[in-house]
């Protein structure tokens, strides 16, 4: 997210000049940026997730690994889209400062620090807007759900030996990974559309 905040502000002078000269349309420019970023984002995410998955001794099951990788890919695409929205709507100074601050509520209400049942009812609606919540939920279900065997433990008593216990503590027993994936895809497309609209608005105001 933080890196992509700088994309539009740094390229804005060139974009203004070339778009004003009718060398290409804003739609072509935005589509080219979107398509060119996807392979790099996907390749590096695939390498990172594969290393993490292997060295944390997760079950070598293609279905489980595929779910985990899909969730992480979607999280990275959505986070990149958040950076594009902030970069299109703000200048560099405000964007770099406000983007991490804006992400704090989504992180706090993601279920990572506080379980969903412990969040007050009048604040629980924020969790449905948090892309981090859907990503965390999907990776947790991919890791501990779908009938995973009990974890190995050499101690006399291991409270989290059963994956079922872990999901119960996270309040994710009734969660659905398909719903999480669909939510991340919808958030991704909405953010990409928002970034395009902000960019078009900024072009019109700076001409």
* CA separation, residue 111 to residues 52, 57, 174 (Å): 21, 24, 14
Q: Is the pLDDT of residue 154 over 70?
A: yes
SS (H, E, C) the chain: CCCHHHHHHHHHHHHHHHHHCCCCCHHHHHHHHHHHHHHHHHHHHHHHHHHHHHHCCCCCCHHHHHHHHHHHHHHHHHHHHHHHHHHHHCCHHHHHHHHHHHHHHHHHCCCCCCCHHHCCHHHHHHHHHCHHHHHHHHHHHHHHCCCCCCCCCCCCCCCCCCHHHHHHHCCCCCCCHHHHHHHHHHHHHHHHHHHHHHHHHHHHHHC
Q: What percent of the chain has pLDDT over 70?
A: 99
The pLDDT, as a whole number, for residue 204 is 78
* CA separation, residue 167 to residues 62, 72, 84, 94, 142 (Å): 21, 19, 33, 39, 11
Averaged over 192-206, what is the pLDDT?
A: 84
Find the angle CA(180)-CA(182)-CA(187) to the nearest 5 degrees: 95
pLDDT band at 173 (very low <50, low <70, confident <90, very high): confident
Rounded distance, CA 45 to CA 108, Å? 24
Rounded distance, CA 61 to CA 63, Å? 6
Q: Is 171 left (phi over 0), alpha (psi -120 to 50) or beta?
A: left
The pLDDT, as a whole number, for residue 207 is 62
The pLDDT, as a whole number, for residue 114 is 74
The pLDDT, as a whole number, for residue 45 is 92
The pLDDT, as a whole number, for residue 70 is 93
* Average pLDDT of the chain to the nearest whole number: 84
The pLDDT, as a whole number, for residue 49 is 93
The residue ranking higher by pLDDT, 182 or 102, is 182
């Amino acid at each position: 997210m933080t890196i992509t905040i700088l994309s539009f502000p740094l390229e804005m002078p060139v974009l203004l000049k070339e778009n004003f000269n009718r060398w290409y349309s804003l739609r072509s420019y935005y589509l080219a940026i979107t398509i060119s970023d996807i392979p790099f984002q996907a390749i590096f995410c695939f390498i990172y997730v594969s290393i993490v998955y292997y060295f944390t001794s997760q079950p070598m099951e293609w279905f489980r690994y595929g779910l985990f990788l899909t969730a992480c890919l979607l999280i990275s695409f959505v986070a990149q889209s958040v950076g594009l929205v902030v970069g299109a709507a703000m200048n560099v100074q405000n964007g770099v400062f406000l983007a991490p601050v804006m992400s704090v509520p989504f992180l706090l209400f993601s279920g990572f620090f506080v379980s969903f049942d412990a969040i007050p009812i009048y604040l629980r609606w924020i969790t449905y807007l948090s892309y981090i919540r859907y990503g965390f939920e999907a990776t947790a279900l991919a890791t501990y759900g779908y009938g995973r065997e009990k974890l190995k433990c050499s101690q006399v008593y291991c409270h989290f030996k059963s994956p079922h216990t872990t999901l119960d503590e996270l309040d994710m027993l009734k969660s659905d990974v398909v719903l999480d994936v669909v939510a991340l895809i919808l958030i991704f497309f909405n953010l990409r559309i928002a970034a395009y609209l902000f960019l078009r608005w900024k072009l019109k105001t700076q001409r």
